Amino acid sequence: MCGITGWVSYDPAHPVTAATADAMTHTMACRGPDAHGLWLDGTAALGHRRLAVIDPDGGGQPMTYDHGGRTVLALTYSGEVFNFRELRAELEGHGHVFRTQSDTEVVLHAYLQWGEGFTERLNGMYAFALWDPRTEELLLVRDRMGIKPLYYFPLPGGVLFGSEPKAILAHPAVRPAVDAEGLAELVAFTKTPGHAVYKGMYELPPGHTLRVRRNGTLLRRYWALEAREHTDDLDTTVARVRELLEDIIARQMVADVPLGTLLSGGLDSSVITALGARQRAAEGGAPVQSFALDFARHAENFTADDWRGTRDSPYADLLARHAGTDHRVVTLPPSALLDPAAREAVMRARDLPFDLGDGDTSLYLLFKAVREQCTVALSGESADEVFGGYRWFHHPDSVAADTFPWLAPPFGTGISGPGSGPGEALLDRGLLEKIDLQGYRAQRYRDALAEVPRLPGETGLERRMREIGHLHLTRFVQWMLDRKDRASMAVGLEVRVPFCDHRLVEYVFNTPWAMKTFDGREKSLLRAATRDVLPPEIADRVKAPYPTTRDPYYLDGLRAALKRVTEGPDSPVRPLLDGPSLAAATADDPRPGYRTGTELVLALDFWLRTHEVSLEF
């Protein structure tokens, strides 16, 4: 997968230096534990940390194309292009000669052949930077769905970029500052494309390129979801979904290193695992390795409720037996989830505080265990956004609400009231008013609606569900993909997300809502397209969210940690908190509803202490 970074300076008073570029590259070591590379000329520096997946021996980076004794093009690249074999054959037909078997070299030659238009030909998950020494221009590229991250920071006379903010923050010209808008973005749960929270920093939006020249920059969108009339009948639609899934899985099972699947026992991960197992069997290979998460004493602490009716483990075991996988369960005790080293690793990986708490820590620990056996893992992430799996897709109040549906009652009602997120429960009410959190959410929602493509004459529920689908595919999914990327790359694990293949996303986005729910359930198309490879118990299982521990030991540990970080005059997070709410959350008999807010406060405290963030509002 890899980590990339770089620095372009057209200012002779501030030339690029190897020492600084190397320090930026070093911050990406977790993303690329296998190799380190640095390339410089007088104006640009490209850094690379490699996680070797395709052509381990020949795919070193940064990679250059040289002609006539000089470098024509240099590339630092993160990700995978899943159609690289077809592109390679096409390029060879144009006379290109390859010296490696890597997809990296295919990207390099594709740009040489087709210029910036080559982006339309790529199928995959990627973020990369191309430097052309002839024109002294930098091109930054990010995949259509934003699976792989890429940040940049304009400087007078140049630009910095990196896979994660930490690479940019390692440059001496950058200091971590957050203004009122940045803090609002951090806690609003809206995930604005292009917004990086840190002042002066940007995230390259999905499906975009950024060209950097001496006279400025040009941001260009090369892909966006479009509204197209769906003319296939139901049977044809179901068959097309299955056809796409089989092709996607076949492409994404290609790796020159051990590969497995993440298996929760839910519909999405079970589909990926079952189809992956069939693909492996057709190739005559060893059984697919599958990995599931569970918590110690989870069975005795679990109580079914409206949000989660069943435990995952029995269903994961069932699918593993059905598909014939080599299955392993990673069981975590509450002490592991509270381990300061694990929580610190997660927060350092994120570069920003988020409020999923043990949901993030358990994911990191799961990936750490997977990495002991595999370098690549396939995930069912994003099926809910593509096929309409979340409960708020199907709740009339959420659908009708004039806000993001995941923030609408009954799902988005925190202690602060309707339309609030649970993460803000402990934040000072005056602070929330100062940064105008509700106004910020409202504006981001209006901006998001303005981007939705429409079909002529589309009205009523179909029009609204197109809006809700678009909100998830351009906002909510970004939050989920970021989380998975940081947790996996923190341990050098490449996680692939087949449901984010842009061909599948485009097709299902334009399928009418009535067809997506033709049997009155969530993800009807996905169930119909894959029922034959699943046990009936899994094909008919009700959607359950990512698991969190319910162990009282963990909850007591959270409360103790909250008391610890908010005591004393030197607490950096204490001025941001609401006194009465903090007292209620740390009481011996705490009021319910503060768990997520506590997780956010703990992350904020760590972030403020370790990143030395300046709050400018």
Q: Which residues are catalytic?
A: 2
72: helix, strand or coil: strand
Yes or no: say if 445 and 403 are a contact pair by the CB < 8 Å rule.
Answer: yes
The end-to-end CA distance of the chain, in Å, is 37
Buried b (16+ CB within 10 A) or exposed e, 146-164: bbbbbbbbbbeebbbbbbb
Rounded Cα gap, residues 552 and 558, in angstroms: 10
* Closest to 289 in 3D by CA, of 365, 371, 352: 371
| Cβ atoms of residues 514 and 229 within 8 Å | no
Chain centroid to CA 239: 29
- The 3-state DSSP class for residue 75 equals strand
Q: With contact defined as beta carbons under 8 Å apart, do 38 and 22 qualify?
A: yes
Question: Torsion angle, CA of 279/126/241/463, rounded to 10 degrees?
Answer: 160
Can you list the positions of beta strands (E) in 251-393?
A: 259-262, 289-295, 326-332, 376-378
Residues 6+ apart with CB under 8 A from 588: none
CA separation for the pair 359, 338 (Å, rounded): 12
The distance of Cα 116 from the centroid of its chain, to the nearest Å, equals 25
Residue 71, C-beta contacts closer than 8 angstroms, at least 6 positions apart: 41, 64, 65, 133
Buried b (16+ CB within 10 A) or exposed e, 108-143: bbbbbbbeeebbeebbbbbbbbbbbbeebbbbbbbb
Q: Among 32, 6, 254, 289, which residue's Cα sits nearest to residue 128?
A: 6
| Distance of alpha carbon 62 from alpha carbon 59, whole angstroms | 9
Contact (Cβ atoms closer than 8 angstroms) between residue 209 and residue 141: yes
In 410-438, which positions are buried (b, 16+ CB within 10 angstroms) versus exposed (e)? ebbbbbbeebbbbbbbbbbeebbeebebb
What the block records as the tokens of 457 is: 């004459």
Beta bridge partners of 376: 259, 494
Residue 422's SS3 state is: helix
